[in-house]
Amino acid sequence: MHTRDAEALVRPLLWIGFDGRIPTPEAARLIHEGVSGVILFARNVGTSDETRALIRELKAIAPGPLLLSVDQEGGRVARLTEGFEAFPPMRELGERSPDDVRAIGRRLGAQVRGAGFDIDLAPVVDVDSNPANPVIGNRSFSRDPQVVATLGAAMIAGLQEHVAACAKHFPGHGDTDKDSHYDLPRLPHALERLRACELVPFKAAVRAGVACVMTTHVVFDALDPGVAATMSAPAIGLLREEVGFGGVCVSDCMEMKAISEHFGCGKAAVRAVAAGVDALLVSHTPEAQHEVIEALAAAVCDGRIAEGRIVEARTRLGTLARRHARGV
C-alpha cells in the first residue's frame, strides 16, 4: 500500500483539537481530509449560539459525518459555561437516587446536544478509592464501586437520550496518586482487586449500553507491566472480552505527558491501535496530529498494524456516527 493511501485509511481514527474560536487552517485541512472527530474545549466555545455556529462550520468542512465531542462532566470539568446550566460534581450526586441522576443526565445531555455536540465525554466511572488522587476526586460518584456502578449507569441512560456518552477512564484512574496529564501513574493491584473494584462500574456502563469507553494512561502491573493501558493489548482485551464492550474505544489525549514524554505520540498511537483502540484523541497540536497519522500509515505499510484492524476501528466509528452524528 502506498503511503498516501495508508494515510487516507488511518486518518478517520483521529479526533483532533485546535486553538481558538475559528477552525485553524491545519484543522480545517485535516477535517476535509477525513478525520472522524473533533473535540472542543473552553478555548473554543462561547455561548450556545456561538458554539453551534462553530460546529456547523466544522461539519460543513467534513466530507462525511463528523463527531463533535466535549468534556462536560459537571463540577470543575465543564467546558460550556457561558449561559449554560452549571451541574454539580458527580460526588454531590452520590447520595441521590438513580432516577434523580438519570434525570440530571437527561438535562445535561439535552444541553450538550443543544450546543451542537454528538458526544459528551462523560461520565467518570472511576472509583475514588485514593484520597490523595490529584485528578479524580469529586469527579467520581463515590468511593464505593457499587454506588459508582449504579449511578454511572443512570447518568449514561440519561445522557444517551440525547448524545453518546463515554465512560472513563478504563480500567480505572481512581486509585492513583499521580495525574496522567503530567506523569505516568502505576497501580500494582492484582486482577482480583480490579475485578472487585475498578471494573465493576465499567461492567455496569456496558450493560447500560454506553456508546464509548475512554482508556487511561495508567500502568497496571497485573495486566501489562510497564505499558500504559491505552497501549496494552491485555487491557483492551479485558475491556472487550471480560467487560463485554463492543463499541468505540477511544484513548485519552495522546499528548498528555504520561504518553508524550514516556513513549512518544506516534509510537504510542501505533501500539494503541494495534492493541485495539479505535479512536485517538490528539487534542492540541498539528505537529502531534501529523506525527500520529504518519506513524499509523507507516505501521500499516510495513505490517505492524493489520489493515483489518483499521477497518474494524473504522466500522465501529461509522456505526457511532450513524447513531449519534447529527446536523446542527
Whole-number Å distance between alpha carbons of 322 and 33: 19
The single residue listed with the C-alpha cell 497540536 is 285
Segments forming the whole domain that contains residue 73: 3-324
Whole-number Å distance between alpha carbons of 24 and 28: 6
The pTM of the full predicted model, rounded to 2 decimals, is: 0.95
Following DSSP, what letter does each residue of 99-119 receive, concatenated? HHHHHHHHHHHHHHHHTT-SE
Q: What's the N-to-C CA distance of the chain in angstroms?
A: 37
- Of 246, 74, 243, the C-alpha closest to 159 is 74
User: Residue 264, exposed/middle/buried by CB under 10 A (0-12, 13-18, 19+)?
Assistant: middle
Q: Which one is catalytic: 162, 252, 284, 324?
A: 252
Whole-number Å distance between alpha carbons of 27 and 152: 33
User: Does residue 278 have an active-site annotation?
Assistant: no
Q: Name the domain count of the chain.
A: 1
Q: What are the C-alpha distances in Å from 208 to residues 165, 219, 244, 297?
A: 10, 27, 12, 35
Mean pLDDT per 10-residue interval, the chain, length 328 residues: 90 97 96 97 95 96 96 94 93 95 98 97 92 80 96 98 97 76 84 94 98 95 94 97 97 92 93 98 96 97 96 98 89
pLDDT at 189: 87
Whole-number Å distance between alpha carbons of 21 and 43: 7
User: Does residue 32 have an active-site annotation?
Assistant: no
Whole-number Å distance between alpha carbons of 198 and 149: 10
CATH number at residue 17: 3.20.20.300
What HEC string does 183-246 produce? CCCEECCCHHHHHHCCHHHHHHHHHCCCCEEEECCCEECCCCCCCEHHHCHHHHHHHHHHCCCC
Are 212 and 248 within 8 A, CB to CB?
yes
- Of 139, 134, 159, the C-alpha closest to 92 is 139
Q: Which one is catalytic: 177, 181, 221, 290?
A: 181
Whole-number Å distance between alpha carbons of 19 and 62: 18
- Beta-carbon contacts of residue 107 (< 8 Å; ≥ 6 apart): 85, 87, 158
pLDDT at 77: 94
185's grid cell = 501513574
